[in-house]
Structure 1
Amino acid sequence: MKAEILDHANLMQAAEFIAEMNTLPESHIGYLGTSQNEIFQSLEEMNRDAESAAFIIREGEALAGFLGADADLDKGTAELWGPFVQENELMGLLWEKALHYFEGKMHTYLLFSETSNQAAAEFASKNGFRLQSAQTYMELKAHSCNGLRKVSLLPIQRHGEFIHLHDTVFPHTYYSGKEIIERMNADHKVYTFDDADGLNGYLYTEYNREEKEGSIEFIGVNPSKRKKGIGRKLLEMAIHDLFMNSGAKSIKLCVGTANEKALSIYKKAGFTVERSLNFYKLDIRE
């Protein structure tokens, strides 16, 4: 058997293969959803992206392995979607194909897998990935929000303050303050809390209209304004807007497992733990 590049004609077969495996904790990867339709959409986007690529292994007409690399050539990084395999020995073939494909273009690979996914943990260890952190996925189902809440969104005159605050609180993360502003639209919102001192806190969400699912990506509070309930107020604002105004059926988020204070705030707001995942990183320059 050998690894080959996934083409458009095989996207649905790949989506079915991944969905079946990603519902199981022992083979779950965090960058992808669990519904076949959602995964198919993600694969379509990857297929249209000239920078990214996916690789498969066939056994007869059936798929036996899949590995996707959602790449950003400007940053030299790629998120790994997989490996998903029927037999663990196939991981090496997929990984070798990906490394050869991106040789000279990529220096950092990221892997996000369920803590009970021992195959992914062994793959990470064998290939030099380092465990960066443990993350907890949480979800809040739609419910009635009592009372009207004023929704305060980031105005253009606060863009500079926002960029400074976000890049200070999250100096090395997947979206910079400037990138978040570039992503802002009717479904990608930055909620704010400010006073006479300026911008004291913000919360950034993204909403998937087709799935009717919101996601909380970042909550940042000015260090000098912490322990004043700003994060809780921003959370209440975003929950109200997503459920009551956008029509979300659920809201998801990811938080560091060691961040007990944040976990407590989210649990009090009604979020429940869905998954626990490990975040691995490989930098081939090291």
Structure 2
Amino acid sequence: MIDDISEVKYFDSFVGAYENNELIGVVGFDADLDDSSVEIWGPFIVPDNWYIVFDLWKKMINLLPDEIDSLEMFPNLKNIRVCQLAKNLSFKKYSDETILIFQRKNSHELKNVSIEELTPEYYLMMKQLHDKAFPGTYYSGQQIINRIDDHRKVFMIINKGIFCGYIYVEAEPEFGEANIDFFAVEKSERGNGIGGQLLTGALKWLFTFKNIESIRLCVNSTNSSAINLYKKIGFQHLHDLIVFTKKL
């Protein structure tokens, strides 16, 4: 967390509650100053001490930078207390999300597929497909291309000179983590197994990093076709989350 939370340092964005010098509760935020938003982490509170939650919350809110105008919370559906807290604090439910996981121990079951790294001649096609599939998302097609390096890759499938689809993934081997951020298939190529090939090829590349033991991804719970595709590749259901948002 100390390494990961950078725009407002961890020590300036988290609040703790103590009882007899023992930590009994924590809540904090991860700020995105460009987007004027924060993601709430917690509250995490020792059982039977939930009564401190509003004092913790008020203390944390006072730490928010002036430019922040929206809050986001992502509690597990089973975390009834935090889900109720979000409602009590006038957050609005934005969406339901499903977390899926693929374990390294199952990587030997991945089929051999043929995908290739994105090359400059296909930049324009990738940008057009991405920006059409994900309008207004956190990375534009050009931003993704600008991020490409040894640990961030865009893979594509070309069939008879036709750009069929792409997938963008990020490996963080120093933390043993990886993300499948975006992938999309041209409408004319859907139903031909392109999505499965892109996912399979990306997974095989990510598992070349020895420190990565599992890969998780988040998908809207209403997107049954995507969830079914992930499960077909070998992902397993892990968690259900609720996304709450609030404007300040």
Quickly name the TM-score band, shorter chain normalised.
0.7 to 0.9
What aligned pairs does 1:149-168 form with structure 2 within 5 A after superposition? 149-168=113-132
Instruction: Say if 1:80 and 1:146 are closer, same or farther in 2 by CA, change over 3 A.
Output: closer
CA deviation after TM superposition for structure 1 residue 81, in Å: 1.1
Pairing partner for 2:215 from 251, 265, 271: 251
Cα distance in 1, alignment partners of residues 101 and 8 from structure 2: 33
Pairing partner for 1:138 from 78, 81, 100: 100
CA deviation after TM superposition for structure 1 residue 70, in Å: 0.8
Cα deviation per residue 1:60-85 (whole Å; 9 max; x = unaligned)? 32212212211111210111111112
Cα distance in 1, alignment partners of residues 232 and 135 from structure 2: 28
CA deviation after TM superposition for structure 1 residue 198, in Å: 5.1
Compare the two structures and name the one with the higher helix fraction.
Answer: 1
Cα distance in 1, alignment partners of residues 3 and 61 from structure 2: 22
Q: State the identity %.
A: 29
Instruction: Say if 1:103 and 1:240 are closer, same or farther in 2 by CA, change over 3 A.
Output: closer
Give the paired residue count: 241
Pairing partner for 1:76 from 18, 23, 36: 36
Counterpart of 2:246 in structure 1 is: 282
**TM-score normalised by the chain length of structure 1:** 0.75
Counterpart of 2:192 in structure 1 is: 228
Greater mean alpha carbon deviation, residues 61-70 or residues 176-185: 176-185
Counterpart of 2:21 in structure 1 is: 61
Contact 2:110/2:233, CA 8 A, preserved across alignment: no
Counterpart of 1:49 in structure 2 is: 7
Instruction: Say if 1:68 and 1:196 are closer, same or farther in 2 by CA, change over 3 A.
Output: farther
**TM-score normalised by the chain length of structure 2:** 0.86
Greater mean alpha carbon deviation, residues 138-147 or residues 53-62: 138-147
- For structure 1, the 5+ residue unaligned runs are 1-41
Counterpart of 1:209 in structure 2 is: 173
Greater RCO structure (CA 8 Å; 6+ sep): 2
Contact 1:140/1:250, CA 8 A, preserved across alignment: yes
- For structure 2, the 5+ residue unaligned runs are none
Counterpart of 1:123 in structure 2 is: 85
Secondary structure of 1:49's counterpart equals: coil
Cα distance in 1, alignment partners of residues 29 and 53 from structure 2: 14
Instruction: Say if 1:98 and 1:173 are closer, same or farther in 2 by CA, change over 3 A.
Output: farther
CA deviation after TM superposition for structure 1 residue 231, in Å: 0.9
CA deviation after TM superposition for structure 1 residue 112, in Å: 0.7
Contact 2:99/2:219, CA 8 A, preserved across alignment: yes
Matched letter for residue 56 of structure 1: G
Cα deviation per residue 1:178-209 (whole Å; 9 max; x = unaligned)? 33233322122111123467543211212221
Instruction: Say if 1:147 and 1:64 are closer, same or farther in 2 by CA, change over 3 A.
Output: closer
Cα distance in 1, alignment partners of residues 111 and 30 from structure 2: 41
Counterpart of 1:15 in structure 2 is: none
Cα distance in 2, alignment partners of residues 73 and 81 from structure 1: 16
Instruction: Say if 1:240 and 1:175 are closer, same or farther in 2 by CA, change over 3 A.
Output: same
Counterpart of 1:185 in structure 2 is: 149
Contact 2:116/2:156, CA 8 A, preserved across alignment: yes
Counterpart of 1:32 in structure 2 is: none
Cα distance in 1, alignment partners of residues 139 and 155 from structure 2: 16
Pairing partner for 1:112 from 56, 74, 87: 74
Matched letter for residue 146 of structure 2: E
Contact 1:51/1:73, CA 8 A, preserved across alignment: no
Greater mean alpha carbon deviation, residues 224-233 or residues 127-136: 224-233
Matched letter for residue 63 of structure 1: L
Instruction: Say if 1:147 and 1:198 are closer, same or farther in 2 by CA, change over 3 A.
Output: closer
C-alpha RMSD over aligned residues: 2.3
Greater mean alpha carbon deviation, residues 253-262 or residues 221-230: 221-230
Cα distance in 1, alignment partners of residues 228 and 222 from structure 2: 11
